[in-house]
Amino acid sequence: METQKDSLSPDFMPGILEEPEAKEYKILTELSEEAKLKIDLIEAIRHACDRQTRKEKIEEAAKKLDKSTRTIRRMVTKVEQEGLAALAETVRSDKGQLRTSLEWQDKIIKLYNQKKRLLKKNNKNGNQKIEVNRHQIWKLIEAEARLIGLKEGEFPSHVTVYKVLEPLINKSKLRHPGQGEKQSIQTTDGPLEITHSNQIFQCDHTDSDILLVDTEGNEIGRPYFTTIIDSYSGCIVGYHISLKKPGSHEVALAFRHAFLPKPKEDYSKKFKLQKEWEVSGIPQYFVTDRAKEFKSAHLKQIAAQLGIELRLRAYPQQGGLVERPFGTINTEFLESMPGYTGSNIERRPKNAEKEACFTLEELEQLLVRYVVDNYNQNPYPRAKNQTRVSRWKSMLLAPLKYINERELDICLFKSNECKIQGKGTVRFKTNTYEGDCLRDCHCEYVTLRYDPHNLLRLMVYTKEENGQPARYLGVVLMLYNAL
């Protein structure tokens, strides 16, 4: 069944399509200070004498312009194709006018009224003030426009949608159903208002208050929990648990777990779950504190490849949402278990060491069961009529965007660039590796991704060039005569 280009259904589920190319007619104006800075930085990159210097200049430009390294590479490519005028500040020739047709304006208002009627219908108790989220209306307009093949510039921007709705909505009193007052996170780059699910993920970790043992019953210490939280619903989206103090690699593993779907057939069997772990996806923002593991090059690479914007919390007290699960897990889950130590050393139970009996694998089994069947199913603190998971599902603005698991190898491994040697081999960390994928490769250099704890097997990718993502080639193995 074909979709009519002028149709706009209020109950459609928007699809996720590739970002269309911008179509906007511009005229050059006088260079601003920002444009001059861009030109200086891009020119420095273009005239870099070697690959390492170029990489450093790109990272410097990304930091100064608050852009991803991928965006900077695209700017360099654009300058090389169109000249420096591509960086000049531009304005539209119809600036100041409402740039949308009467047909689009009617559709925006119609969708707003339909959404408001739906909210009134669901407000059975009549105790909630009915307010419609302007941002959600724009997202619905944008998603359907892209779904039927329209490009940017051929449908209203969010600014236009806001202007159309301005007479209908009192902006100062805007709030979301069940949320009460607006919630926002203060970051070092300014505040982020929390408006919907999978918009902002937050991450933190702690050493848990329980002692573990190995398979022979010997005490091995307390594990570290790393959790990924969806800011709108408070759901735990992903986790990582280990005996090693978390660094960028452990955070990346929690990243990966949060992004990937959690199939019912796999998780129910492995962890004996009563509920399904439905929460997953890729966020727009990832917010953390300012610990060094959250500012690592590894996480910046992951964010750049997946199109996620990294943000740092401006104040420690802004981390309450992501720290709350740790306290709940301690009081509701760990406190009654053998080996529980408590957070106060002076008040530690006398028999904590003697009673410790859980291995890391056994604790993980119980932890996942608690998160899925209890924590995510409990009421959201600011909306007692919603569980965390139902709140998450209620404000998904589009179907979940899943990517190929292969693309998440960047979360699993560190990377290194190597030159292909003769006979389809590479040298890495004094060892020689070979594989069929190198013999058929027509590249001079490749990127190796590897687990620093296992160097016997490396994954091979093409180099990322001109902002294009690397392509997976295959696996190479360490030659035994090199051992």
Residue located via tokens 């928007």: 14
pLDDT of 200 reads: 94
Three-class SS of residue 265?
A: helix
Task: Please state the φ and ψ torsions of residue 380, each to the nearest 5 degrees.
Answer: -70, 130
Q: Check if the beta carbon of residue 250 is closer than 8 Å to that of residue 229.
A: no
Percent helix, strand, coil in the chain, to 5, is 40, 20, 40
Q: Check if the beta carbon of residue 25 is closer than 8 Å to that of residue 93.
A: yes
pLDDT of 87 reads: 64
**Chain length of the chain:** 483
Residue 168 has what DSSP assignment? Answer: G
d(CA 114, CA 112): 5
Residue 80: count other Cβ atoms within 10 Å of its Cβ: 12
pLDDT of 48 reads: 76
Contacts of residue 270, Cβ cutoff 8 Å, sequence gap at least 6: none
Contacts of residue 125, Cβ cutoff 8 Å, sequence gap at least 6: none
Tokens of 416: 């290194």
The C-alpha torsion from 257 through 258 and 260 to 262, rounded to 10°, is 80
Q: pLDDT of 339-385, one tens digit each? A: 888 766 666 667 778 888 899 999 999 999 999 999 999 998 877 78
Residue located via tokens 């100062």: 172
Give the E-state strand segments of 163-281 in sequence order.
184-187, 190-193, 200-207, 212-213, 219-221, 224-230, 236-242
The amino acid present at 257, given as its one-letter code, is: H
> In which residue ranges of the chain is pLDDT below 70?
1-33, 35-36, 82-100, 122-131, 169-182, 317-318, 343-349, 401-402, 406-407, 410-414, 453, 464-470, 480-483
Residue located via tokens 């970790």: 205
d(CA 141, CA 10): 10
Domains of the chain: 26-92 (no CATH), 184-394 (3.30.420.10), 413-482 (2.30.30.130)
Please give the model's pTM, rounded to 2 decimal places: 0.55
Distances (CA, A) of 417 to 248, 285, 295, 354, 482: 20, 28, 22, 49, 20
Element holding 76 (H helix, E strand) = helix 69-82
Nearest 5°: the CA angle 87, 91, 95 is 165
pLDDT of 390 reads: 92
d(CA 24, CA 31): 19
pLDDT of 405 reads: 72
Q: pLDDT of 262-302, one tens digit each? A: 888 888 888 999 999 999 999 999 998 888 888 877 788 78
pLDDT of 93 reads: 42
